[in-house]
């Protein structure tokens, strides 16, 4: 059963702590993406990766970091430098990089910073 998994579904952290969100895909997709969704807002791109060991900043990368050591995994770290980290985080993948390709989304992680 192919797809994208994100864990955990809900995450609570204290202010000032770094937290890492997991994203795993078994679709054999080259490209992976991280988006942030706030109420009433669209999806904003944080980071994306077109190939293993390579990633690029999106529109709102400040306060976040990523790694892409394996094709199937693209974890996102929300650092203490992110001023407003409480949000719904969505991971996505596409078969090949580029905007012409359908993106498949994971179920998301809802992060709350107390």
Partner 1 sequence: GQQVMQIPQYQHVQEGEDFTTYCNSSTTLSNIQWYKQRPGGHPVFLIQLVKSGEVKKQKRLTFQFGEAKKNSSLHITATQTTDVGTYFCAGSRSQGNLIFGKGTKLSVKP
Return residues touching partner 1 (CB under 8 A): 35, 40-45, 48, 58-59, 90, 98-100, 102-108
Residue 65: which of 53, 55, 73, 50 has the closest Cα? Answer: 55
**Least CB distance to partner 1 at residue 44 (A):** 7
For 42, counting Cβ atoms within 10 Å of its Cβ (0-12 exposed, 13-18 middle, 19+ buried), the class is: exposed
**Could you tell me the smallest distance in angstroms from the CB atom of residue 96 to partner 1?**
13
Nearer to partner 1, 14 or 104 (CB): 104
Cβ proximity to partner 1: between 17 and 56 the closer is 56
**Shortest reach from residue 16's CB to partner 1, in Å:** 29
- State the burial class of residue 8 (Cβ atoms within 10 Å of its Cβ: 0-12, 13-18, 19+): exposed
């Amino acid at each position: 059963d192919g797809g994208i998994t994100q864990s955990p579904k809900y995450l609570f952290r204290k202010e000032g702590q770094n937290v890492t969100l997991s994203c795993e895909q078994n679709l054999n997709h080259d490209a992976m993406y991280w988006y942030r969704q706030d109420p009433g807002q669209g999806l904003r791109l944080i980071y994306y990766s077109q190939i293993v060991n390579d990633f690029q900043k999106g529109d709102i990368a400040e306060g976040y970091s990523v790694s892409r050591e394996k094709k199937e995994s693209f974890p996102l770290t929300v650092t203490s430098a992110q001023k407003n980290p409480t949000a719904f985080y969505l991971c996505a993948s596409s078969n090949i990089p580029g905007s012409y390709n359908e993106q498949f989304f994971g179920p998301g992680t809802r992060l709350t910073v107390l």
